[in-house]
Amino acid sequence: MDNIAFFAGAARNLEGKATAEYSADHTSSIRREAIGVIASISPWNYPLQMAAWKILPAIAAGNTILLKPAEITPLTSLLFAEVATQAGLPAGVVNILTGRGSTVGAELLRHPDVDMLSFTGSTGVGRTVLDAAATTAKRVHLELGGKAPFVVFDDADLKAAIHGAVAGSLINTGQDCTAATRAIVHRSLYEQFISGIADLYANVKLGPTQDPNTDLGPLVSETHRDKVAEMVERARGYARVFGGGIPDGDLASGSYYRPTLVADATSDSEIFRDEVFGPVLAVTPFDTDDEAIKLANDTPYGLAASAWTKDVYRALRATREIRAGAVWVNDHIPIISEMPHGGFKESGFGKDMSTYSFDEYTVVKHVMFDLTGVAAKPWHRTIFSAGEG
């Protein structure tokens, strides 16, 4: 609802360079114009929220949009479009096309009537989107994977960092590109941090999301649960693993997986480098601030990060030197409509949310008016010989 309210107002506040005489004989102004037809492909992990993030800035900027939701979570996008129609949006402005990415998605990517592609999902599929866009030189916006570092310095509030890591790693059952996945903890706090996380993880209650007593619901599918489980089982061969496993009893038939802490994971290990997209936190120690920053940046991703410290200078250094699209200080995960969301490096380019998203969904046009009314302009001397023109 906040996204809707924000973009409704932002549509009335498009920014551009001031109309002025940058050349003595001309007045110049900027127009921000709609790109045209936007094809968006949204992921399964936040299907309703991602539909809003794609649709709202696109139509607020004056475009029409064709959204293809993930094939396993299409219903909320269809409901969104129905409500948009009931609210009075003209027919053809918001369109939902369901189907598999390999067929429907692939057709959208290369369709000549599509003017821009917006994709949120894995980095691997993002490369496919780029390849397809190159065939017709379409504009592209990509929000891809992440492996967010959670850096705990030696002066951090340890209790706050432990609670923040548990919440930041388990949000949406860990199926979040910005989730805390790599805890990089000063050696003086390392064992206390591990113990605190393990204790809180052990008390997390798994169950149906309709139950108000549930802390952690299921993963999106049994196939995805099994992928998470396999990565954790491999990690048991090279690190200390606390928790994990598929629960027994009634929950065994669902897609549930217990919160998992993987300690002593080296920076080159699979669990520390690759996206798990589940309730799994890998932890490694550091000794110096330089080492912490290096470890935080030792990833192909750059979507989000956090730094935990009471030292303002240390915090400023972390926010300056960690290469990520969002860096939180003493918190991890909050996102607001007024601020942009998007990554560095292989986490993509372009922004969702905020007025910065209008840079993705508009094209800038320069309009120039002659002020003189003179037929022969001074610059015409580059064409006409002296005395002619």
User: Residues near 267 by Cβ (< 8 Å), separated by ≥ 6?
Assistant: 273, 284, 295, 298
Cβ atoms < 10 Å from Cβ of 371: 12
- CATH number for 2-144+343-369 (one of 3.30.450.40, 3.40.605.10, 3.40.1710.10, 3.40.30.10): it is 3.40.605.10
pLDDT (tens, 9 = 90+) of the chain, 389 residues, equals: 999 999 999 888 877 788 999 999 999 999 999 999 999 999 999 999 999 999 999 999 999 999 999 999 999 999 999 999 999 999 999 999 999 988 999 999 999 999 999 999 999 999 999 999 998 899 999 999 999 999 999 999 999 999 999 999 999 999 999 999 999 999 999 999 999 999 999 999 999 999 999 999 999 999 999 999 999 999 999 999 999 999 999 999 999 999 999 999 999 999 999 999 999 999 999 999 999 999 999 999 999 999 999 999 999 999 999 999 999 999 999 999 999 999 999 999 999 999 999 999 999 999 999 999 999 988 898 998 765 54
Q: Which fold has domain 148-329?
A: Aldehyde Dehydrogenase; Chain A, domain 2 (3.40.309)
CB 335 within 8 A of CB 353: yes
Model's pTM, two decimal places?
A: 0.93
Q: Quick check: do 2-144+343-369 and 148-329 share a fold?
A: no
Structural Rg of the chain based on CA atoms: 25
User: Residues near 37 by Cβ (< 8 Å), separated by ≥ 6?
Assistant: 63, 64, 65, 66, 113, 114, 115, 116
Distance CA 218, CA 224 (A): 10
What residues are annotated to the active site?
143, 177
Q: For the chain, which residues make up each domain, given as ranges?
A: 2-144+343-369, 148-329
User: Residues near 343 by Cβ (< 8 Å), separated by ≥ 6?
Assistant: 143, 144, 146, 301, 302, 303, 304, 324, 325, 349
